[in-house]
A and B are shown apart, each in its own frame.
Chain A
Amino acid sequence: MIGIAFALIFFYAPLDADQGFIQKIFYLHVPLAIVSLSGFVFGGLLAIGHLRTGERKWDMRSYVAIHLALIFGFAGLITGSIWAKASWGHWWEWSEPTLVSYLIVLLLFATYQPLRFSIEDPERQARYASVFAIVAGAFVPLNFIAVRAAQKFVHPRILTLGGGNLPGSMRLTFVISLLAIGLLYVTFWKFEMAAKNARGQLRAARRALLGDDAVRPMGRSAAPS
């Protein structure tokens, strides 16, 4: 999986070598943004699964989805800022509603881990995190509507590159990079899930073999165990 993702990334890079450095950032930024936002909503859906079934593994999935989406999200924000500087000359642009909504969403989800960390009881931590993920997931679309509506009559839309406006070769590159980033996300997700599951199983095995006391408690943690 990882191999395919990286192959795709390296594949598309030569495609737009002639467009200049600036445009390349765009191919990173937008897919990162799209994937991270989808990741947040995906995390919210997984959280619904957790609350409905009561099984901790759904919470684990939700946690990994959101925490990865946050990392991708910050990468998206930084690449967005670089692109803004390159395109318009400022590091930040308030009149671009998409960027602003994106910042707000990231600010919200940045509180996910501190929230988890501040609740000590693991069952409760998982439950509350799921509640948060659901509410925050629903928040994403509402937030975009609000910010977009707030900007509409003040400034013209600067980001005119909607999907339909891209000329052929750029569109292809864009789609491929979107797929690549998406695959990268999924790969990381599976990887982290596997690592956490393995650790959980190891601890359970040690507990079963050596008794409760042989396994030291993990201490306060933001991650589900």
Chain B
Amino acid sequence: MGGQAPAIELRGLSRHFGERTALRNVSVRVAPGATLAVLGRNGAGKSTLLRILATLLRPHAGEVSVLGEPLPKRAFAVRGRLGLLGHEPLLYRDLTGRENLLYHARLHGLPAARVEEVLAAVQMERRAQEPVRLLSRGMVQRLAIGRVVLHRPELLLLDEPRANLDPGASELVEPLIGRRAGATRVLTSHDPKAALAEADLVLALAGGRVAFAGSPDQVSSQQLRELYA
């Protein structure tokens, strides 16, 4: 564990939108295979952080290194090795589940067989030929999760992955995006207790700055209260 290069390394990361600062001087180091929970209120900068890690946004200051590659310079090299699950499922509503996954598979250079594998894993084979707009939110979320793991990413960036999932479905996707999946994970959740339960490392953001960071057992309920106050 000691000698391995970190999966994620941020040093003094800053990002602004016009005159508004979204992230200021954020630093963290995540070991490969570990899970980082990012906590904070809405607007604290969690999604911005995830999007920067996903190479969708450029850092404005500081250093960012994902899976050993510096961003934004080596963004192209690292894109195929990470997966982002955001608030949007990123599925075309007029296409079927299968067509959507095939589209993503082709973009990543994967064979059609892989799509069937994933559909089976999220138990959507039977409804895969219906247009996405006819599916319930839970099913759409399952398809979205399928999309994320399609290319077997080494780094999973999950923005509230359990949203819209009933406990059964949540169990179902656990081997894909849970700790057992083996990937390095960064997740955010509206339920800090749940996030803490599966985290190895915690990073709390307030107003774009790091409020506190460390291992989950170091986080006190007092700190949590202040964060979400």
Q: Which residues does A use to contact B, with CB under 8 Å?
A: 121-123, 203, 207, 212, 215, 217-218, 225
Contact = CB atoms under 8 A, between A and B. Distances in A.
A217 B20 contact: yes
B21 A217 contact: no
B21 A123 contact: no
Interface string B50-71: 0000000000000000000000
A217 B21 CA distance: 12
Interface string B1-25: 0000000000000000111110000
Contact of B17 (A123, A203, A207): A123
Of B18, B20, B21, chain A has the most CB atoms within 10 Å of the CB of B18
B67 to A, nearest CB: 24
A225 B19 contact: yes
A103 to B, nearest CB: 35
Nearest to A125: B18
Nearest to A120: B18
A225 B21 CA distance: 15
A124 to B, nearest CB: 9
A146 to B, nearest CB: 38
A212 B21 contact: yes
A217 B19 contact: yes
A215 B18 CA distance: 13
A211 to B, nearest CB: 11
A156 B20 CA distance: 58
A201 to B, nearest CB: 14
A121 B18 contact: yes
Contacts of A225: 18-19
Contacts of B20: 212, 217
A95 B17 CA distance: 49
